[in-house]
Structure 1
């Protein structure tokens, strides 16, 4: 599976739908401090020529979900992709300002809906071609065939509860940093802590110091906390289902075949005081 594209490969690509999906998400200063903003202003300042900015808070998201960035239906994804100019045979390339978590979130969403896309490895910092600023001409609306059912890449709260209580096989993986696991830093959500019984695989550990996705034995070493059996059911979560998608990307690239992302993650879980959270 070709989930990534290098800057050189993108520069050599002909027609492509290139989307900057960066979102500004401020670090919380106190518990419950959730502040997000569109990354459009950054895109206007500097972007890959011909690209468009997509606000993931509103696009490729279901506004009816009780948490941010809720996973949308395949039909909604298809309609929004077509409105952006997507057509059969035209590759879709996703990039962000360098965290790769936003590009991974969009990639996972499109993949669940049955659409292939590639992530610019390293994001905008890795792009060494020409850059543009200001507005870009809008692409003409495209057309995509009606998608089928979801590929089942999302997990819900019931799935997580079944794993934690031993009612279903699987491994729960947390993509948050150790500070969040320990509850020593403020959270954007209702309560600090993490879901009991999970493994720790912080999303950032899957990137090199240069911001590229690890490969080969380097990636295998980073994935060591997770069972090697490629068919082990894995559910990844984080705070809001975003960095979990970067960890999920690494797991898929590392050969794991049964990976899902808990869409609501801690935003949904922590909002219910009856659900346990622990510290480590």
Structure 2
């Protein structure tokens, strides 16, 4: 009878390769040196979400044309407005169920053993959203710091036009992480003091205080929320602030707060950028309210604070 291989060893007896990604954030030099690695899948998560001109002015669209216009060689467009959203949900950009998400990712060539680098051409929040979705089903993933802007600024090659579609992967096994996502009842329970947690709104100050128009039905923030603008954690080039500066900015908001940190914004996008920043700082008590203010504000009985 043939002995079974030892755990952690393939049939050849050679050690399995170690993790490719160094963490949740990579730079352009790291990515350029590994573009040909067959384990790596590079996904452009760009989507369109123009600023509202008036309350209720909701417009969104696919970033596929932007990807086709210029993209990192070998990358594929991950459409967060298409099959990477649950269109049966009562709000936009809803995360699909784990099996549906895995099926969409398989069609992009992501398989068991793949590691993903996400980027975008819009300041990094879309890449962070895709990173959180991947992380939530245990797919190793990282965000390209500075996105396409940083890639081009470093003189890296870009392509335009369509590329041959990636062959669909046969298997991708989603392993959902507990507490990656918060639901409306979860948020309501924190608000009522029925469970611990700190509500944190990742919108800019003008969205938090209600002084700017909103895409949604009502302005303001959930009572008791702190404000940590997601885009305020990036420098002018769209890269995350240096660690010490990032820690100081986050700590000024989140020191001595109850765990977990429940992040939200308008639609769960900027909140993902804040989730990435907190993860870079080593926080593990982070959850993201997927429906965010689009879902919360739809019911006039749910309270909102407007200060502007």
Band of TM-score, shorter chain: over 0.9
CA-CA distance at 1:73 after TM superposition: 1.6
- Residue 238 of structure 1 aligns with which residue? 265
Residues 82-133 of structure 1, C-alpha deviation per residue, up to 9 Å, x if partnerless? Answer: 1111233332111101411100111111111111111111010000310100
1:274 matched to 2:301: yes
The answer to whether the Cα contact below 8 Å between 1:23 and 1:102 also exists between their aligned partners in 2 is yes
Show the 5 A alignment for 1:14-163.
Answer: 14-15=36-37, 16-127=40-151, 128=154, 129-163=156-190
CA-CA distance at 1:211 after TM superposition: 1.0
The 3 A distance-change label for structure 1 pair 149 and 182 is closer
Of the three residues 28, 32, 35, the one matched with 1:7 is 28
The 3 A distance-change label for structure 1 pair 85 and 269 is same
Q: Distance in 1 between matches of 2:42 and 2:230?
A: 24
Show the 5 A alignment for 1:237-256.
Answer: 237-256=264-283
CA RMSD of aligned residues (A): 1.6
SS at match of 1:88: coil
Q: Distance in 2 between matches of 1:258 and 1:231?
A: 10
Q: Distance in 1 between matches of 2:29 and 2:221?
A: 40
Q: Distance in 1 between matches of 2:168 and 2:118?
A: 18
Which ranges of structure 1 fall in alignment gaps of 5 or more residues? none
The 3 A distance-change label for structure 1 pair 22 and 219 is same
Q: Distance in 1 between matches of 2:253 and 2:198?
A: 8
SS at match of 2:251: coil
SS at match of 2:262: strand
Q: Distance in 2 between matches of 1:65 and 1:88?
A: 28
CA-CA distance at 1:222 after TM superposition: 1.4
CA-CA distance at 1:80 after TM superposition: 1.3
Task: Give me the TM-score of the superposition, normalised by structure 1.
Answer: 0.95
The 3 A distance-change label for structure 1 pair 230 and 217 is farther
Aligned length: 280
The answer to whether the Cα contact below 8 Å between 1:18 and 1:93 also exists between their aligned partners in 2 is yes
SS at match of 2:199: strand
The answer to whether the Cα contact below 8 Å between 2:95 and 2:290 also exists between their aligned partners in 1 is yes
Task: Give me the TM-score of the superposition, normalised by structure 2.
Answer: 0.87
SS at match of 1:224: helix
Q: Distance in 1 between matches of 2:242 and 2:122?
A: 17
Q: Distance in 1 between matches of 2:172 and 2:123?
A: 32
